[in-house]
Amino acid sequence: MTDSPPYSGLIIDWGGVLTTDINSSVRRWADRYAVDLSTYIDIMRTWLGPEGELEAMLNPIHALERGEIEVPHFEEVLAGELSRRTGTPVVAEGLLARMFDEFEHAHDMNALVRRARESGIRTALLSNSWGDFYPRDLWDGMFDVVVISGEVGMRKPDPEIFHFTLERMQMQAAECVFVDDLPHNISAAADLGIVGVRHVTYEETLTELEALFGINLA
């Protein structure tokens, strides 16, 4: 008799995994709306870097992802900072909607998640949200559990949101595999005993998941 595969739960990120990669999507947005990309990147580095950890007022990204501020507030702060640094006015209203319009559906990865669930693997979406720009109408029959950071007041890589997701799945960390495109989120999951797979391409992620779950997911 063969042993059962050790993993039976799949936790997966949205942006950059179930969509086109974040860098190319943001680049298209910047090109389309004449946003200075290098300035935008510098702002993100400031807010997400060590100095952004010192004061909440310096880190609106964390506040947005935890649902502590609303999208219009974040858009005003981001547009104001872009305008201040470049000297060119940036329209705040709809700023994030325009950005997320450039995130394309990754059909291959979404189909992979569906095949995993149809194979008996329990699936969960775990996403840090910048507002509700998700294609929820495409998720029917895809996930057993959906955890959106702004709806639960927690964010990756904080351990609390991983524990919350596992509780919702009714599973243990050692039973689950987590797919994300950001190394620090993978490391946070690994610290809790969840096996991490960093998503770069569909082919690489497919190969790793097939090896971990011991089934054909192609």
Task: Please give the tally of structural domains in the chain.
Answer: 2
Which CATH number belongs to the domain containing residue 201 in this structure?
3.40.50.1000
109 and 141: one domain?
A: yes
3-state secondary structure of 32: helix
pLDDT for 49: 72
Give the Å distances, CA to CA, from 118 to 2, 111, 168, 198, 212. 21, 10, 19, 23, 17
Q: Is the dihedral of CA 201, 14, 115, 5 positive or negative?
A: positive
208 and 123: one domain?
A: yes
Last residue of a domain, one of 42, 71, 100: 100
Enclosing domain of residue 83? 22-100
112 and 84: one domain?
A: no
pLDDT for 1: 41
64 and 117: one domain?
A: no
175 and 147: one domain?
A: yes
Averaged over successive runs of 10 residues, the pLDDT of the chain (218 residues) comes to 75 98 96 97 87 58 95 97 96 97 97 98 98 95 97 97 98 98 97 98 98 96
Q: Which helix (H) or strand (E) holds 12?
A: strand 9-12
Residue 43 inside a domain? The answer is yes
pLDDT for 3: 62
